[in-house]
Every structure is written in structure tokens, then in C-alpha cells.
Amino acid sequence: MPERRLLVADLGEMPYVDALALQRDAAKARLSGALADDLLLLVQHPPVITLGRSTKQGNLLASSDQLAARGVELFEVERGGDVTFHGPGQLVGYPIVNLQQHTADLHWYLRELEAVMIRALSAFEIIAGRNAGKTGVWVGDRKIASIGVHARQWVTWHGFALNVTTDLSYFDLMVPCGIPDVVMTSVERELLERADGTCFAPSPSLFDDVRLRTIAEFASRFRLEPASLHVQALREMIVQ
């Protein structure tokens, strides 16, 4: 059994700006040693578009008025990658991980995050994989999960976004991840539209099922023992 713990804090639905502050504080605590264990924050956000460091001009297709009309916030952040969307029904994970205790290589880390989601999706009979040269997780030519991370002294924050029951129409407001003509998909859509023509009605607990499977696969992949942590206990741990 793994000796090191993975603290898992389920934030529920939280505004993006609050979750961003929390993960930045957690990363500082991990750097200082105040937070002794790796941490996985899981959250759903109200509709928000984030612009990563590699965002190209023109990849955000909507005006500020159009975003406001749909209730979508907009943030520029320090993560890698281009423009993406977060919203209800999307499982967003922010791992605060010290890569020096694993493998000090960001490319390795990105591939491991992909592997976590690929393995989690396989539990729902969704055959997912990688797309050469494009970070993220794909089902055929459809993108189901996006990844964008940042690290300082090998401690990571930001992370991954897996579409579970996400309203995919929000992705029409942008060129998702800066990939022209990309088709976004979700766990729900893949279950409803199987390639073999069969139809599987997702259960009401689909989001929670995917969340629990993702936790299990993350812990297994990083050889950690998961331990639940209430958000208030986390805040007390990372107060400087």
C-alpha cells in the first residue's frame, strides 16, 4: 500500500476566482512545507473562460457583451495552453503536486494526467486516448478533456478539465485550446452516441461516478493513498 497520502478536497461548485486563490495558496504551502502532502482539488465552476499563456489573438470568438449575455466570466491566468471553458457538469481537477517526489519532468506529468483520465473513462467503456502533438484526452477525433498546468520549483497548480455532463455549446464562444475545427465531447454524449450504434442512458449519479473513478486512478497512477479533506481544514492548513 502507498505510504504517502493524496489529500482530496471536493470544493463543490465554486467561483473560478476563489478556487484560483485557494490553489495558489495551497501551492505556496506545498513549496514552504506547510502542506506536507500532495493535494487534489476537485471543483465545478460557474461558466468561465480562461486564457492561458499561449492564447493566440482571435481564439476568443465572443465579445464582452456576448459573454455577459451568457453569464460567462473571463480570466487571464498563468497556466500553459490556449483558451478554454469551465462550467457546470465539468470535472475540474487542480493537483498541487511536488514533482520532485515523483518525476521532475513536466512532459511526464502531462502524460500522467492524460493517463489518469484515459483509465477513468475506460471504466465507463469509453475508449479514449492521446492525439500526437496535442495535449489532452480524445475519443476518436473528439476532445473530451483539456489540460493546462503551471509549476514553480516543481510544485504544480492548475490542472485538467474533463467534460462529464457539460453544456458543450459554450465551446462555440472560442477556438477551444486554439485547435481549429476541434469537436468537443463529453462523457454523457459518448454514452448516448456510441460508435456501435447502441445507446446507454447515463445514470443520475454519472458525475459522482466519474469523480470517484478519477480520484482512484489519480491516486493509483501517482502511487498515493487518497484521504478526504474538508475545505475548511485545508484553509487552516495553508494559512501562512
Q: What does pTM read for this prediction?
A: 0.94
Is the pLDDT at 129 greater than 70? The verdict is yes
CA dihedral 127, 133, 134, 138 (to 10 degrees): -10
Beta strands in 99-194 (DSSP E): 129-131, 134-139, 142-152, 155-163, 183-184
Backbone φ, ψ for residue 155 (5° rounding) = -100, 130
Where residue 46 falls among pLDDT bands split at 50, 70, 90? Answer: very high
Is the pLDDT at 2 greater than 70? The verdict is no
- Per residue in 194-225, pLDDT tens? 756 666 667 889 999 999 999 999 999 999 99
Q: Provide mean pLDDT across the span 6-11.
A: 98
The active-site residue out of 60, 72, 162, 177 is 177
Q: Provide mean pLDDT across the span 149-160.
A: 97
What CATH code would you report for 5-238?
3.30.930.10
Question: What's residue 89's pLDDT?
Answer: 98
SS3 157: strand
Q: Provide mean pLDDT across the span 173-177.
A: 93
Where residue 8 falls among pLDDT bands split at 50, 70, 90? Answer: very high
177 is catalytic: yes
